[in-house]
């Protein structure tokens, strides 16, 4: 049960540092509490934990324009951040993790500002029938966070300039461009500012959780730990992910997300497997890739190997769908 709430706002616009703070807050969040973390990134593409950065982001164009690409801990899809966007993170222990309640903080804040919004699909918030917030989720076993974007006055031209969105994802939503399916909150409330939105969110925390909110002082944070996390997020090894000399590759879109499966096959055995995906649960995607390593190559043995995961994961839809898809490939 949550009896204390906290907030922390960060003035840095460095994506590696900001994600370092987010992970540090996950490390230190006290039991029975929820932390609201508010932050902004300058000119950044943020991809999900298991995504292929070269497939999701126009890497060279972003770099040429002075932008940065960073990989986050959570699953989900790629997003573009600039200073017209406000990011939020709710950090808590697993027993107190409640996405519906956390989203209620966002909706309560917007309602106080005169903006009607609602949850839509697997992880979006909509206003005026268009998306202004995408959400993603992470847990490390005992602690969790839920974070997302709030588009206030984002340069929407940059969404299509730097993001590579699959036609299947757009057509599945009944639109033909990224810009057509998103809305800036400033379009609905022209006088809205980032500062006003921050204040409304902090006040909404008190309303939803029914307890006084306390500010976390920057001196309460461990800069050494934050620096270590930031170094990881800024490293090419983490940012760019694993690239293998794959000899077999398939791509497919499921209801829960895209997958791109690459296998390095030698003498009929899978030496290495990588699965890129925008699925919200990054843990099961990583587990499937790990289970395929050392497996005999072929539809039947690969599906049978993944079916062994049901002892731990149960009848998860992602697992059932990928097994069925592999069997239908008949390779």
Provide the pLDDT for residue 193. Answer: 98
Domains observed in the chain: 4-240 (3.30.930.10), 248-329 (3.30.390.50)
121 pLDDT higher than 60: yes
Provide the pLDDT for residue 171. Answer: 45
Query: For residue 172, what pLDDT band results from cuts at 50, 70 and 90?
Result: very low
What is the arithmetic mean of pLDDT over 73-95? 97
* Gap between the Cα atoms of 2 and 95, Å rounded: 9
CB-based contacts of 213-219 (< 8 A; 24+ apart in sequence) = 213/5, 213/6, 213/7, 213/36, 214/4, 214/5, 214/6, 214/7, 215/6, 215/7, 215/8, 216/6, 216/7, 216/8, 216/35, 218/8
Provide the pLDDT for residue 116. Answer: 95
Helix (H, G, I), strand (E, B) or coil at 224: helix
158 pLDDT higher than 50: yes
Q: Residues 230, 73, 71, 241: is their CA dihedral positive or negative?
A: positive
Provide the pLDDT for residue 243. Answer: 82
* Gap between the Cα atoms of 91 and 23, Å rounded: 9
310-329 per-position pLDDT tens digit: 999 999 999 999 999 999 99
Q: Which residue has the higher pLDDT, 34 or 179?
A: 34
Query: For residue 176, what pLDDT band results from cuts at 50, 70 and 90?
Result: very low
Of 206, 210, 217, 200, which Cα lies nearest the Cα of 28? 217
Contact 105, 90 (CB under 8 A): yes
4-49 per-position pLDDT tens digit: 999 999 999 999 999 999 999 999 999 999 999 999 999 999 999 9
Query: For residue 87, what pLDDT band results from cuts at 50, 70 and 90?
Result: very high
What is the arithmetic mean of pLDDT over 253-280? 95
What is the arithmetic mean of pLDDT over 278-304? 96
What is the arithmetic mean of pLDDT over 245-274? 94
179 pLDDT higher than 80: no
72-82 per-position pLDDT tens digit: 999 999 999 99
Least confident of 72-76, 179-183, 269-273: 179-183
pLDDT over 70, % of the chain: 95
Would strands 44-47 and 68-71 be described as parallel, antiparallel, or unpaired? parallel
Provide the pLDDT for residue 168. Answer: 54
Contact 23, 138 (CB under 8 A): no
* Gap between the Cα atoms of 38 and 191, Å rounded: 20
100-111 per-position pLDDT tens digit: 999 999 999 999
If you average pLDDT over every residue of the chain, what do you get? Answer: 93
* Gap between the Cα atoms of 101 and 117, Å rounded: 15
Contact 170, 70 (CB under 8 A): no
Of 211, 183, 174, 173, which Cα lies nearest the Cα of 115? 183
Provide the pLDDT for residue 32. Answer: 97
Decide: pTM greater than 0.95: no
Least confident of 7-11, 176-180, 226-230, 261-265: 176-180
Contact 119, 125 (CB under 8 A): yes
What is the arithmetic mean of pLDDT over 262-283? 95
What is the arithmetic mean of pLDDT over 224-245? 94
Residue showing tokens 């989203």: 103
């Amino acid at each position: 049960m949550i009896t204390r709430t906290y907030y922390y706002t960060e003035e840095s616009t460095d994506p590696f540092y900001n994600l370092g703070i987010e992970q540090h807050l996950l490390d230190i969040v006290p039991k029975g509490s929820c932390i609201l973390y508010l932050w902004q990134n300058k000119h950044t593409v943020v991809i999900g934990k298991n995504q292929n950065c070269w497939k999701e982001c126009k890497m060279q164009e972003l770099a040429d324009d002075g932008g940065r690409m960073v990989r986050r801990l959570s699953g989900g899809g790629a997003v573009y951040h600039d200073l017209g966007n406000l990011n939020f993170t709710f950090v808590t222990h697993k027993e107190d993790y409640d996405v519906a309640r956390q989203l209620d903080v966002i909706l309560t804040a917007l309602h106080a500002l005169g903006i009607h919004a609602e949850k839509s699909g697997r992880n979006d918030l909509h206003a005026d029938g268009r998306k202004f917030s995408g959400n993603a989720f992470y847990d490390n076993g005992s602690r969790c966070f839920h974070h997302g974007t709030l588009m206030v006055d984002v340069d929407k031209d940059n969404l299509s300039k730097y993001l590579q969105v699959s036609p299947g994802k757009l057509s599945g939503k009944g639109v033909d461009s990224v810009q057509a399916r998103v809305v800036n909150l400033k379009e609905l409330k022209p006088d809205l500012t980032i500062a006003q939105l921050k204040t409304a969110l902090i006040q909404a925390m008190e309303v939803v959780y029914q307890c006084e909110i306390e500010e976390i002082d920057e001196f309460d944070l461990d800069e050494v730990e934050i620096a270590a996390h930031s170094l990881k997020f800024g490293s090419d090894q983490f940012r760019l992910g694993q690239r293998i000399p794959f000899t077999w590759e398939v791509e497919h879109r499921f209801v829960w997300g895209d997958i791109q499966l690459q296998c390095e096959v030698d003498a009929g055995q899978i030496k290495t497997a990588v699965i890129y995906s925008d699925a919200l649960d990054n843990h099961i995607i990583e587990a499937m890739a790990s289970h395929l390593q050392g497996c005999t190559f072929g539809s039947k043995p690969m599906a049978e190997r993944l079916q062994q995961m049901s002892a731990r994961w149960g009848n998860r839809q992602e697992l059932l769908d990928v097994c069925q898809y592999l069997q239908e490939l008949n390779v």
